[in-house]
Each structure stands twice: as structure tokens, then as C-alpha cells.
Amino acid sequence: MLFYVIRRFIYMLIILAVMSVTAFLIIQLPPGDYVEMYIHQLEISGQTVDEAEIASLRRQYGLDLPVYLRYFKWVWGILHGDFGRSLQWGKPVSELIGERLLLTVVVNLFTVIFTYAVAIPIGIYSATHQYSVGDYAFTVIGFAGLATPNFLFALVLMVLFYKYFGLSVGGLFSPEYTTAPWSIAKFVDMLKHLPIPIIVIGTAGTAGLIRVMRGCLLDELRKQYVITARAKGVSERVLLFKYPVRVAVNPIFSTIGWMLPSIVSGGTITAIVLSLPTIGPLLYRALMSEDMYLAGSMVLLLSLLTIVGTFISDLLLLWIDPRIRYEKGG
């Protein structure tokens, strides 16, 4: 058991290392380097550029070093909390990301909870009432949810709310709380704004999960032990929840690792449309203005979020499903 956890942890570190190389490549891809752009920006704003300052900037970012050394310098900086400076904002990246990272975690976490809370009961209902009106209705809704791109769904919701209620549904806070420090009132305000982003981000995942849950449970219900239990006179409710549901839920939890990347993905694009104060819009703006240090750091952070989330879900699975412990525990 412990061996498995350690192995999994080391594995996660390796993935993170590879991911950091990818993120660094993204930073390096556009032509010209960071300091050149910085100088250019200063010149536009009419400031004079000091030769000594340029040299010190170059040294600070290690631009006089070969690529691989530069990479290590960047990683070293990140390990010490220094993500580089954002060109556009003229601030350290870590300062810009801080609260947004927290909110990103909050939004994604709530989305995962929403997805499971909705998908599992509906999946059970659909499987036990196969080919009923409800089953068909959920199937249609599910397929529509899968087929609608997140951003389009968000856009349509915004348009409808604007047209019929005159409301703007973007953001996570009401204007009066946007810059206010954290308080209970601000938290409550956030909870009020959360449903729409969560529904938008969660639909696709929910739709997929309903299909999986329905399929697994249907397979399980056809098995002999269910017939045996029924023949013995076990009540339907006990019969359903004691075995088949528990077995059918397993594959759903084991795929959480695949669901998380898609939720983070969907969250990014939805956040841009709904202008949530999460990492998504910042990443978008950074990419549009070629603010590569900011962009690279955020691609890395979003991946980090996913990878760590997957790791945690693996541990959860280990705890839920004893079979994995025996199989891989060694």
C-alpha cells in the first residue's frame, strides 16, 4: 500500500517535470526574448532604457545562458516562488496569480462535486427505469450537453439572462465585493454566483458520467447474483444499493483522473466567456499579448492542478476499492 503511494508520487513528480519542459517550450516559442519585448514596451511608453538595467535584467532572467540552463533557472525560480515578471502588468507573476489560483480550485472542486452529485442518481434512475420516458429525456439532455461547446452554452445563458432579466451573469462577485477583502458576506456572494459557471462547466462531464453509470449498472443488473438475490426475496431497494450500485460506481471514480483535465479545460474557456476571476481569462489575455512568462506559468499551474487532483483521486480510489490495493500494492 505505502509502496504504491510512494511509487505513484514519484510518478507524479516525473510527469510534472515533463510538463514544466512543455510549459517552458511555450514560453520560448514566440520569436524575440522577454527582455527585448520589455525594452520595446518601455520605449513605447516613452521611458528611457538604461543599459545597466538591461544587462541586469538579462542576468536576472539568465538570457545570456544557453537554453537548458535557462530552463533550470526558470524551474529553480518557480521552486522558490518566483515565476518571473508579467510584461503586461509589470508585476511579478506570482502576485497576479495568487487569489485567482484559489478561486480556480474552488470552481473546479465544486464542479466535480456537482458532476457526481447529479450524474450518479440520474445514472441509477436511467438504468433502473430503462427505456422509460425519464430515461429518454435524460439521454436527450445528456447528448445535448455533450454536444454543446462550453463557451456556446455560457454565451446563450448570458444572452438569455440579459434579454429576459436584464442581468449580467458574468463574474464570481457582485461589483461591491470585487475588490473587498474576504469576509463571510463576500463568500455568500460568491456562492450565489457559482451555480451558473458550475452548471456550464459541469454539463459535458455530467452527461458523459450519466452514460457510463447507466451502462455499468445495466451490465451489473443483468448478472446472476442479482437474480439470485431477487429470488431469495431481498427487497429491490436493498438489492440495488447493497451490491450493483457499489460495483457500478467504481469505474466512475476510477475515471475521475480523466475527467479532471476536461473540467479544467472546460473551466478555462468558460471562465473566459463568463469573465470569472480565475486563471482562464488571465491566461487568455497573456496569450493574446504574448506575455509569455505569465502564460507559461499558468499553463504549468493548470496542469499542476490537474496532476495533483488526479493523484489525490488515485489515493481515494485506493481507499474505496480494495481490489486495487491487492493488485498493485505488491
Partner 1 sequence: MKDKRKEISAEEKFYMASQWQLMWRKFRKHKLAIIGGVILAIFYTGAIFCEFFSTQDIYKRYTKYIYCPPQRIHFFDEEGKFHFRPFVCGFKRARDPITWEKIYKEDKSKKYPIYFFVRGDKYKLWNIFPSDIHFIGVKKGGILFLFGTDKLGRDMFSRNLYASRISLSIGLVGVALSFILGSLLGGISGFYGGAADMVIQRIIEFLICIPTIPLWMGLAAAIPTDWPPLKVYFAITIILSFVGWCGLARVVRGKLISLREEDFTMAAKIAGASDGRIIVRHLLPSFLSYLIVNLTLSVPGMILGETSLSFLGLGLRPPVVSWGVLLNEAQNVKTVSMHPWLLIPGLFVIITVLAFNFLGDGLRDAADPYK
| 274 closest CA partner among 102, 50, 52, 107 | 107
User: Is residue 15 close enough to count as binding partner 1 by CB under 8 A?
Assistant: yes
| 154 closest CA partner among 283, 267, 284 | 267
Q: Which of residues 96-115 bind partner 1 (CB under 8 A)?
A: none
User: Is residue 295 close enough to count as binding partner 1 by CB under 8 A?
Assistant: yes
User: Is residue 167 close enough to count as binding partner 1 by CB under 8 A?
Assistant: no
User: Is residue 303 close enough to count as binding partner 1 by CB under 8 A?
Assistant: yes
User: Is residue 22 close enough to count as binding partner 1 by CB under 8 A?
Assistant: yes
Distance CA 199, CA 213 (A): 19
- Provide the minimum distance between the beta carbon of 41 and partner 1 in the complex, in angstroms, as a whole number: 18
Q: Which letter does DSSP use for residue 92 in this model? A: B
Rank residues 144 and 180 by Cβ distance to partner 1 and give the closer one: 144
- Provide the minimum distance between the beta carbon of 269 and partner 1 in the complex, in angstroms, as a whole number: 5
Sole window of 118-126, 192-200, 281-289, 319-327 interacting with partner 1 (rule: CB under 8 A): 281-289
Sole window of 34-42, 91-99, 221-229, 305-313 interacting with partner 1 (rule: CB under 8 A): 305-313
Bridge-partner residues for 92, per DSSP? 85
User: Is residue 21 close enough to count as binding partner 1 by CB under 8 A?
Assistant: no
Rank residues 49 and 146 by Cβ distance to partner 1 and give the closer one: 146
User: Is residue 143 close enough to count as binding partner 1 by CB under 8 A?
Assistant: yes
DSSP string, 100-151: HHHHHHHHHHHHHHHHHHHHHHHHHHHHHTTTSHHHHHHHHHHHHHHHS-HH
Q: Residue-wise over 302-330: b if at least 16 C-beta within 10 A, else e?
A: bbbbbbebbbebbeebbeebeebeeeeee
Backbone angles phi, psi at 14, to 5 degrees: -65, -45
Q: Which of 151, 173, 243, 253 binds partner 1 (CB under 8 A)?
A: 151
Q: Which of residues 216-275 bind partner 1 (CB under 8 A)?
A: 257-258, 260-262, 264-266, 268-269, 272-273
- Provide the minimum distance between the beta carbon of 158 and partner 1 in the complex, in angstroms, as a whole number: 5
User: Is residue 75 close enough to count as binding partner 1 by CB under 8 A?
Assistant: no
Cell numbers for 179: 475588490
- Provide the minimum distance between the beta carbon of 6 and partner 1 in the complex, in angstroms, as a whole number: 18
- Provide the minimum distance between the beta carbon of 2 and partner 1 in the complex, in angstroms, as a whole number: 22
| Three-state secondary structure string covering 156-214 | HHHHHHHHHHCCCCCCCCCHHHHCCCCCHHHHHHHHHHCHHHHHHHHHHHHHHHHHHHH
Distance CA 192, CA 187 (A): 9
- Provide the minimum distance between the beta carbon of 50 and partner 1 in the complex, in angstroms, as a whole number: 31
CA 141 to chain centre: 23
| 83 closest CA partner among 267, 276, 282 | 282
Q: Which of 41, 148, 174, 254 binds partner 1 (CB under 8 A)?
A: 148
Q: Which of 137, 152, 312, 316 binds partner 1 (CB under 8 A)?
A: 152
Which residues bind to partner 1, rule: CB under 8 A?
A: 15, 18-19, 22-23, 26, 29-31, 143-144, 146-152, 155-156, 158-159, 162-163, 168, 257-258, 260-262, 264-266, 268-269, 272-273, 283-284, 287-288, 290, 295-296, 298-299, 302-303, 306-307, 310
